[in-house]
Structure 1
Amino acid sequence: MMLKSAEASGKDVPLYEDDLLEEEAKDRQFVTALARGLDVLRCFRPGDVGLGNQEIAERTRLPKPTISRLTYTLTRLGYLTYSERLGVYQLGSGVLALGYAMLSGLDIRERARPLMQDLANDANASVALGTRDRLSMVYVECCKGPGTVTLRLDVGSRVPIATTAMGRSLLSVLPEAERDYLMESMRERFPDRYPAVKAGIEKAMEEMDRYGFCLSLGDWQSDVHAVGVPLLSADRSAVFALNCGGPSFILSPDYLKNEAGPRLAEIARQLTAR
């Protein structure tokens, strides 16, 4: 049995739809047309059979004529394919090549995997390594325990930075100016939910100071518990985060605080020290 994530359900989840282009576009070196093309590729989610121009326009909030030109160009370049029978676009092999090149260059994945798998087996849960993409975290490695109940998340899955243990732990080690910029983006993007989001992040940062890890107990999904820790690359040039998460009836707060959290923090220390 796999718990159905909000992302996997195919429903729109506003916390994933983080649009920072308005601020970035003020930079004279910023190429808006390129950014829009990449946003078209970004709007495809795990489980999508295909998307038409109208659906892409709705997800990117760009005019449909603009989307038509972008999808045409991306198809010519091999980043999208078009099904005449279904009338939809799918990600092409060009995207896979880029993703594989990125993943193969992350040696931290290879070093982390056996440590992550040991914890996943012992906790009977999922253990993942992720990095930030705008206001989301993207999984670059994921290990699952032997149990029959798991989260429907894998490499390439996206989860919100604001409400997950993984995302909050990463926020805790970002430079203050970068964290403030992201917090302001959240406030502008989700004004109604921002007070709760801010309170959750502040609590997580207090937990980071006290325990070296932070918890998310039903904050992302009501039936999911998780613990997260930040992870710096050995040369301190990149910031990642680790989490251990699963169904709330398997991962109790006490277990996360007394067992999984300390082990996850130790894994991060081992990987950073190498």
Structure 2
Amino acid sequence: MAFRTADSFDGGMSDKDRQFVEALARGLAVLESLSRAQKPLTNGDLAEMTGLAPSTVSRLTHTLVVMGYVRLSRSNRAYELTPKNLTLGYPVLAGMRLLEQARPHLEQLSRTTGETAALAIRDKLHITFVAVFEGSNLVAVRLATGGRLRIPVSAAGIALVAALPETERRMLSTRVRAEMTRTGQDPETFNSAVKDCLRDGVAIVRNMWNPGIGGVSVPIHSQGEYAALTIPVATGSISEQTMRTTLADALKGVAKLLGPALHTD
């Protein structure tokens, strides 16, 4: 491909694949870039993020505007997603039985701890929060439903890797390490975190996504679905000891109600 889509493809695609519709892939690359941004993006921003030619991006954004998936922001200089995109995501969430089972437990967990509680699933080399209940503590970390983080910087990402059967875990870990190496990061931190989660049944991350933010997460496997229960924390207020004891125990308690806390080889 002539364009970059980060982790948009799981592999196996090539320029010689006659079944692969490149125009569709380009359009989806634009939508994925907009979904990851925290602000409207110009055609120039999108061209840089996807590696597509500016003229191609201009045609794609025009088409997406006409179809109602993208609109110009108030400044009329940048593009943002419209609520129409939710029609693509709601059927997916509605089909997740684990999500409906987890909601009341996550709400209670948030009330009990005062921290934000969330359920995350894997999206290629990222994790996506599919349910979020904000904590009442003044320093509780705020998350957004639909928000995404890269696997190696999130406790939920580490937990989701650890939850997989060994063969799948090795394959995914190889991809994560390759991406970390490509971007100049040390894969050893990821390796250690996964090993610790396999040993302890809980993933602990501090200051890897952003300074001052960490997370504690427990993996679960229920009814064929892999997910992670997670609590993000302000590391300046919540000690690692509290994460490993009070918060980890609370998460494990919920995990036992939903399914096995961790796959064992």
CA contact (8 A) 1:225 1:253 kept: no
Letter of the aligned partner of 1:265 in structure 2? K
Bigger Cα displacement from structure 2, 24-33 vs 97-106: 24-33
- DSSP 3-state at the match of 1:23: coil
Residue 13 of structure 1 is matched in structure 2 by none
Residue 196 of structure 2 is matched in structure 1 by 207
Identity of aligned residues (%): 32
> How many angstroms apart in 2 are the aligned matches of 1:200 and 1:72?
42
Bigger Cα displacement from structure 2, 258-267 vs 99-108: 99-108
Structure 1, unaligned runs of 5 or more: 1-16
CA contact (8 A) 1:205 1:214 kept: yes
1:254 aligns with one of 241, 248, 257: 241
CA contact (8 A) 1:166 1:242 kept: yes
* Alignment of structure 1 residues 69-148 onto 2, 5 Å: 69-82=59-72, 86-148=76-138
- DSSP 3-state at the match of 2:229: strand
Bigger Cα displacement from structure 2, 105-114 vs 55-64: 105-114
Residue 6 of structure 2 is matched in structure 1 by 18
CA contact (8 A) 1:122 1:145 kept: no
> How many angstroms apart in 2 are the aligned matches of 1:105 and 1:21?
23
What RMSD, in angstroms, separates the aligned Cα atoms of the two structures?
2.5
Bigger Cα displacement from structure 2, 76-85 vs 222-231: 76-85
Structure 2 residue 231 is the aligned partner of structure 1 residue 231: no
Bigger Cα displacement from structure 2, 166-175 vs 120-129: 120-129
Residue 164 of structure 1 is matched in structure 2 by 154
1:221 aligns with one of 210, 216, 221: 210
Residue 266 of structure 1 deviates from its aligned partner by: 2.5
Letter of the aligned partner of 2:217 in structure 1? G
Residue 263 of structure 2 is matched in structure 1 by none
Structure 2 residue 253 is the aligned partner of structure 1 residue 266: yes
Residue 12 of structure 1 is matched in structure 2 by none
Q: Scaled by the length of structure 1, what TM-score is found?
A: 0.81
Letter of the aligned partner of 2:253 in structure 1? E
Residue 32 of structure 2 is matched in structure 1 by 42
> How many angstroms apart in 2 are the aligned matches of 1:122 and 1:100?
29
Letter of the aligned partner of 2:237 in structure 1? I
> How many angstroms apart in 1 are the aligned matches of 2:53 and 2:170?
31
* Closer/same/farther in 2, CA of residues 83 and 157 from structure 1, 3 Å limit: closer
CA contact (8 A) 1:128 1:242 kept: yes
* Closer/same/farther in 2, CA of residues 175 and 68 from structure 1, 3 Å limit: farther
Letter of the aligned partner of 1:168 in structure 2? I
> How many angstroms apart in 2 are the aligned matches of 1:40 and 1:140?
22
> How many angstroms apart in 2 are the aligned matches of 1:222 and 1:83?
30
* Closer/same/farther in 2, CA of residues 24 and 140 from structure 1, 3 Å limit: same
> How many angstroms apart in 2 are the aligned matches of 1:190 and 1:130?
21
